Amino acid sequence: MPTPPKHRRKAPKESTLYLGVLSPTGRTLTFYCPYCRGHHHHGWNPVDPVWAITHRGSHCHAPGAPSGYHIGVSRELSAPK
Ligand SMILES: [Zn+2]
């Protein structure tokens, strides 16, 4: 039995956390970015729990944007299944 991956439930204090919406397939997480005032899309593993917080390299090229951040699923923004 492979051990299940360990996920954070919270981002470290020094890291930016963005909460976004999962696509209907559960494979893409989309969130609003205040730096470029647009949306970024990151791949998401559908088997990951909805509470998982994972670190990603930034997709943002706006000045002042962090080079990486943590992302997670927003329970408020995501429609219940
Ligand atoms: Zn951005």
Q: Kindly give the distance from the C-alpha atom of residue 69 to the centroid of ligand 1, in angstroms, as a whole number.
A: 11
Rounded CA-CA distance 24/6 in Å is 24
Predicted TM-score of the model (pTM): 0.83
**Bridging pattern class, strands 38-43 and 28-33:** antiparallel
Q: Kindly give the distance from the C-alpha atom of residue 68 to the centroid of ligand 1, in angstroms, as a whole number.
A: 11
> Percent of the chain, pLDDT > 90?
73
Rounded CA-CA distance 35/50 in Å is 25
Q: Could you report the per-residue pLDDT of 1-12, keeping only the tens digit for each?
A: 666 667 889 988
Mean pLDDT of all residues in 25-42: 97
> Which residues, 6 or more positions from 63, have their beta carbon under 8 angstroms from its beta carbon?
35
Which residues make up the environment of ion ligand 1, defined by Cβ < 5 Å? Answer: 33, 35-36, 60
Mean pLDDT of all residues in 17-42: 96
> What pLDDT band is residue 76 in, cutting at 50, 70 and 90?
confident
Better pLDDT: 7 or 65: 65
Better pLDDT: 2 or 13: 13
| CA contacts within 13 A on the Cβ side of 69 | 21
